């Protein structure tokens, strides 16, 4: 495919959750997996902007008349997420992180931060708007062979997460609401699918270098804006894997090219807008035909249908792998009415609907050889649904309609809503304008995060850790903390092992390591350094402290110290082990030390350090003349 010839233009908008506190309240940004503490219901309605306009996307959402049910978690939520209390000032750690990214991309940082409200009416924000603040403009990132412009960098609050949709109720989980999101938008200067992927991966790396991003599925989401010369601007929402970006671009190009081909075919067939419009509001009741049908979906149901003149064979035309023009029609109906979908003539007979029934439908609707028909199963929504189908067919005469689409698996997409209009931002009056602190800016500029390559070299050469550990640490969220600790003189290898492997072990044991902050980890390391805690107990100390966060560390330390043996008690235990195993010792076997060491480690676990046990064991064996 010659992407230059078809005029492909792609722009990315990357949303990355930050691993700081929430943006406008002081709740922790913790994702919950347990049951909510309580639930509440809301209904939302659109409010006209200051210019008196309603946003088209907001209106479409409102027309569906949904009720929203929110799940609230005491640990992750307060009255601010419930929209019962005004927001607090912006989290400074989140702001500093976004400023760092702005500096790293050579963007122009604004002098003042104005928080704005962006209308969101799908219920994902309890307030009906999302707070967002522009931080910087006009930066760039460097790819292998070219530079891509960064249009804007903004800081905004994440929305509540949809859990399920049931009838007219949408269930949302509030834990995610208010988590800071950095929104980074590139210029539409990406011209091939591979370039789109390279850009996304580069931005992903850039964000991770700050060590302040959340990790795992759902923590990064990108919107991809795609257009080709003959097509239209399409916004694909919610691509979660950066590695899939090229696939999404390829598939969207394929879809737009096929819609252009469809347009040409329609022109050739001489179909006019007027001819199609005539069939609006002309749905015919076909229920009787399906009274005794073998298809459960239509049997004894209200079935309405309409003719689509001259569309025979076109509804079944493939647009993307496994997705036809008929899938587009069905998506429109689904998204705008909540109905499950449609049946169309290009796919029937199928699903238990037989040829006889199809012929009866054709007869009743006066469908001729060149025509198609569409059926919907509903009474009250039939007229709306069939009109939506006809409108989408009319739009096909023009080619590709501009719209927002949802990312599906394997790179395909489906219609979700119209492109949002420009009239959906207005000032957030609850938060005062904030001036960027010049001194802080200079300080951040002096201490920008290293690149992964710089880190690896420094870790190996200066901190003397293994290449393997350095490789794992260079893009880890603890990289900058590790650098700080190594500079302070903590043993680099031990520290890296604790941060990389120790914390993973704790997580596997079900400990909420996200509740551990760097201060806590440093305190534990200091206790080990000052010999108040044996190294073998450092994970235990962290796990106890996470579970009893309200307890002062000193009392946890004391608890563990009481379990630890004094040197003398350790020596006595080892002597006992040697005495019990006199039979082995008398054989003068060369492996006596390792045999007894294993035994001693089990008996003295958590009570003495491995180093001490080994030293005493050696001494005691030597006394018996064993080396
Ligand atoms: Zn809160």
How far does residue 432's CA lie from ligand 1's centre (Å)? 19
The whole-number average pLDDT for the span 453-461 is 97
Residue reference for tokens 């929504």: 381
Lowest mean pLDDT among 225-229, 349-353, 582-586: 582-586
The whole-number average pLDDT for the span 306-312 is 96
Give the Å distances, CA to CA, from 291 to 284, 302, 342, 544: 15, 9, 18, 67
User: How sure is the predictor about 58, in pLDDT bands with cuts at 50, 70 and 90?
Assistant: low
How far does residue 25's CA lie from ligand 1's centre (Å)? 5
The whole-number average pLDDT for the span 603-609 is 81
CB 602, CB 624: distance < 8 Å:
no
Same domain membership, residue 152 and residue 38: yes
How far does residue 76's CA lie from ligand 1's centre (Å)? 6
How far does residue 15's CA lie from ligand 1's centre (Å)? 21
How far does residue 132's CA lie from ligand 1's centre (Å)? 17
Q: What percent of the chain has pLDDT over 90?
A: 69
How far does residue 335's CA lie from ligand 1's centre (Å)? 32
Same domain membership, residue 530 and residue 501: yes
CB 307, CB 345: distance < 8 Å:
no
Q: Residue 369's Cα: distance from chain center in Å?
A: 48
How far does residue 444's CA lie from ligand 1's centre (Å)? 27
* Burial status of residue 585 (CB atoms within 10 A of its CB: 0-12, 13-18, 19 or more): middle
Q: What are the pLDDT digits (tens) for 104-149?
A: 999 999 999 999 998 887 889 999 899 999 999 999 999 999 999 9
Residue 167 has pLDDT above 90, yes or no: no
Residue 627 has pLDDT above 70, yes or no: no
- What per-residue confidence (pLDDT) applies to 536? 83
Same domain membership, residue 349 and residue 459: no
How far does residue 38's CA lie from ligand 1's centre (Å)? 15
The whole-number average pLDDT for the span 95-103 is 97
How far does residue 445's CA lie from ligand 1's centre (Å)? 31
| Tokens (6 digits) for 94 | 């989140």
| Tokens (6 digits) for 201 | 């991966």
Distance separating alpha carbons of residues 582 and 602, to the nearest angstrom: 19
Residue 524, Cβ neighbours under 10 Å: how many? Answer: 25
Domain assignment present for 95: yes
Domain assignment present for 438: no
- What per-residue confidence (pLDDT) applies to 608? 81
- Hey, which residues does 427 pair with through a beta bridge? 116
How far does residue 177's CA lie from ligand 1's centre (Å)? 9
Give the Å distances, CA to CA, from 533 to 225, 528, 538, 562, 602: 55, 5, 7, 11, 18
As for how many domains the chain has, the answer is 4
Nearby residues of 76 by Cβ (< 8 Å), 6 or more positions away:
27, 28, 29, 30, 31, 32, 174, 175
CB 235, CB 185: distance < 8 Å:
no
Helix pair angle (382-396, 245-268), 10° resolution = 90
How far does residue 91's CA lie from ligand 1's centre (Å)? 12
How far does residue 461's CA lie from ligand 1's centre (Å)? 44
How far does residue 552's CA lie from ligand 1's centre (Å)? 25
- What per-residue confidence (pLDDT) applies to 588? 61
How far does residue 309's CA lie from ligand 1's centre (Å)? 56
Same domain membership, residue 108 and residue 189: yes
Q: Residue 308's Cα: distance from chain center in Å?
A: 40
Same domain membership, residue 348 and residue 295: yes
Q: The CATH number of the domain where 373 resides is what?
A: 3.30.1360.30
Residue reference for tokens 């491995």: 610
Residue 50 has pLDDT above 70, yes or no: no
Domain assignment present for 138: yes
Same domain membership, residue 246 and residue 282: no
The whole-number average pLDDT for the span 32-37 is 88
State the DSSP string of 312-371.
TTTTT-EEETTEEHHHHHHHHHHHHH-----EETTT-SBTTB-HHHHHHHHHHHT--TT-
Q: The CATH number of the domain where 610 resides is what?
A: 1.10.10
Same domain membership, residue 279 and residue 179: no
* Structural domain for 320, as ranges: 272-396
How far does residue 157's CA lie from ligand 1's centre (Å)? 12
Same domain membership, residue 246 and residue 156: yes
Distance separating alpha carbons of residues 97 and 94, to the nearest angstrom: 5
Distance separating alpha carbons of residues 479 and 460, to the nearest angstrom: 13
CB 476, CB 513: distance < 8 Å:
no
Distance separating alpha carbons of residues 142 and 104, to the nearest angstrom: 11
Helix pair angle (452-461, 479-487), 10° resolution = 30
Q: What percent of the chain has pLDDT over 70?
A: 95
Same domain membership, residue 500 and residue 364: no
CB 341, CB 334: distance < 8 Å:
yes
At residue 52, the 3 state secondary structure works out as coil
Residue at a domain's end among 209, 240, 265: 265
Nearby residues of 156 by Cβ (< 8 Å), 6 or more positions away:
23, 118, 130, 131, 132, 133, 180, 181, 183
Distance separating alpha carbons of residues 81 and 253, to the nearest angstrom: 39
Q: What are the pLDDT digits (tens) for 357-394?
A: 999 999 999 999 999 999 999 999 999 999 999 999 99
Residue 192, Cβ neighbours under 10 Å: how many? Answer: 18
- Residue ranges of E strands in 209-292: 220-227, 234-239, 284-285
How far does residue 619's CA lie from ligand 1's centre (Å)? 58
Domain assignment present for 368: yes
Helix pair angle (610-623, 592-603), 10° resolution = 130
How far does residue 550's CA lie from ligand 1's centre (Å)? 20
- What per-residue confidence (pLDDT) applies to 572? 87
How far does residue 374's CA lie from ligand 1's centre (Å)? 49
Domain assignment present for 419: no
- Name the pTM for this structure: 0.84
Residue reference for tokens 């492109």: 419
Same domain membership, residue 172 and residue 247: yes
- What per-residue confidence (pLDDT) applies to 53? 67
Q: Assign residue 219 a region (left: φ > 0; alpha: ψ between -120 and 50; beta: otherwise).
A: alpha
How far does residue 624's CA lie from ligand 1's centre (Å)? 65
User: How sure is the predictor about 64, in pLDDT bands with cuts at 50, 70 and 90?
Assistant: low
User: How sure is the predictor about 51, in pLDDT bands with cuts at 50, 70 and 90?
Assistant: low
How far does residue 71's CA lie from ligand 1's centre (Å)? 13
How far does residue 324's CA lie from ligand 1's centre (Å)? 44
Residue at a domain's end among 379, 396, 413: 396
Q: Residue 43's Cα: distance from chain center in Å?
A: 26
Distance separating alpha carbons of residues 336 and 65, to the nearest angstrom: 11
Q: What are the pLDDT digits (tens) for 504-550?
A: 999 998 888 877 889 999 999 999 999 888 888 889 899 888 887 77
How far does residue 80's CA lie from ligand 1's centre (Å)? 5
How far does residue 545's CA lie from ligand 1's centre (Å)? 23
At residue 238, the 3 state secondary structure works out as strand
Residue 575 has pLDDT above 70, yes or no: yes
Domain assignment present for 461: yes
The whole-number average pLDDT for the span 573-584 is 83
pLDDT averaged over every residue in the chain: 91
Residue 617 has pLDDT above 70, yes or no: yes
Residue reference for tokens 């007979």: 349
Residue at a domain's end among 524, 554, 584: 554
Q: Beta 318-320 vs 303-308: how paired, if at all? A: unpaired
CB 119, CB 58: distance < 8 Å:
yes
Domain assignment present for 253: yes
Residue 279, Cβ neighbours under 10 Å: how many? Answer: 20
Same domain membership, residue 388 and residue 259: no
Same domain membership, residue 531 and residue 575: no
> Nearest-CA neighbor of 603 among 561, 562, 575?
575
How far does residue 20's CA lie from ligand 1's centre (Å)? 13
Domain assignment present for 423: no
């Amino acid at each position: 495919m010659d992407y230059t010839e078809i005029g492909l233009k792609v722009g990315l908008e990357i949303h990355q959750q930050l691993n700081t506190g929430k943006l406008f309240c002081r709740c922790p940004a913790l994702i919950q997996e347990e049951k909510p503490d309580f639930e509440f219901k809301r209904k939302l309605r659109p409010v006209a902007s200051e210019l008196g306009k309603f946003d088209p996307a907001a209106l479409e959402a409102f027309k569906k008349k949904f009720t929203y049910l929110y799940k609230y978690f005491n640990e992750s939520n307060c009255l601010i997420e419930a929209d019962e209390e005004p927001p607090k000032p912006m989290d400074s750690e989140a702001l500093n992180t976004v400023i760092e990214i702005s500096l790293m991309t050579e963007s122009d940082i604004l002098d003042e931060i104005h928080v704005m409200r962006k209308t969101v009416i799908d219920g994902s924000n309890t307030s009906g708007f999302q707070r967002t603040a522009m931080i910087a403009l006009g930066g760039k990132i460097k790819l292998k062979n070219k530079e891509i412009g960064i249009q804007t960098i903004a800081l905004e609050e994440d929305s509540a997460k949809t859990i399920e949709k049931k009838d007219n109720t949408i269930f949302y989980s509030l834990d995610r609401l208010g988590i800071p999101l950095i929104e980074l938008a590139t210029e539409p200067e990406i011209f091939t699918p591979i370039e789109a992927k390279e850009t996304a991966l580069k931005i992903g790396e850039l964000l991770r270098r700050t060590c302040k991003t959340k990790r795992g599925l759902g923590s990064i989401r990108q919107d991809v804006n795609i257009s080709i010369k003959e097509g239209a601007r399409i916004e694909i929402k919610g691509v979660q894997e950066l590695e899939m970006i090229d696939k999404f671009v390829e598939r969207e190009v394929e879809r737009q090219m096929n819609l252009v081909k469809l347009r040409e075919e329609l022109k050739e067939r001489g179909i006019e807008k007027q001819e199609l419009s005539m069939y609006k509001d002309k749905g015919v009741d076909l229920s009787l035909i399906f009274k005794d049908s073998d298809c459960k979906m239509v049997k004894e149901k209200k079935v309405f249908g309409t003719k689509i003149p001259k569309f025979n064979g076109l509804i079944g035309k493939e647009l993307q792998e496994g997705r036809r023009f008929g899938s587009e029609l069905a998506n429109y109906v689904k998204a705008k009415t909540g109905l499950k979908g449609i049946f169309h003539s290009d796919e029937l007979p199928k699903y238990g609907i037989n040829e006889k029934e199809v012929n009866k439908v054709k007869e009743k609707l006066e469908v001729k050889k060149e025509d198609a028909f569409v059926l919907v199963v509903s009474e009250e929504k039939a007229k709306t649904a069939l009109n939506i189908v006809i409108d989408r067919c009319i739009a096909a005469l023009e080619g590709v309609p501009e719209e927002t689409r949802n990312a599906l698996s394997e790179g395909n997409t489906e219609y979700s809503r119209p492109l949002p209009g420009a009239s959906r931002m207005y000032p957030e009056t609850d938060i005062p304008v904030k001036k960027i602190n010049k001194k802080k800016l200079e300080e951040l500029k002096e201490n920008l995060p290293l690149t992964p390559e710089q880190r690896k070299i420094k870790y190996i050469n200066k901190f003397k850790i293994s290449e393997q550990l350095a490789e794992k640490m260079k893009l880890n969220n603890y990289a900058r903390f590790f650098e700080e600790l190594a500079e302070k003189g903590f043993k680099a290898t031990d520290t890296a092992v604790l941060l990389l492997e120790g914390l993973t072990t704790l997580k596997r044991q079900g400990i909420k390591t996200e509740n551990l902050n760097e201060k806590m980890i440093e305190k534990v390391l200091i206790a080990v350094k000052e010999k108040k805690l044996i190294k073998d107990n450092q994970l235990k100390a962290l796990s106890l402290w996470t579970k009893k966060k309200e307890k002062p560390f000193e009392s946890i330390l004391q608890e563990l110290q009481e379990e630890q043996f004094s040197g003398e008690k350790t020596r006595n235990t080892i002597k006992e082990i040697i005495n019990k195993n006199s039979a082995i010792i008398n054989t003068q076997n060369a492996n006596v030390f390792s045999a007894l060491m294993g035994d001693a480690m089990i008996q003295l676990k958590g009570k003495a350090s491995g180093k001490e046990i080994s030293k005493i064991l050696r001494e005691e064996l030597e006394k018996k003349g064993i080396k």
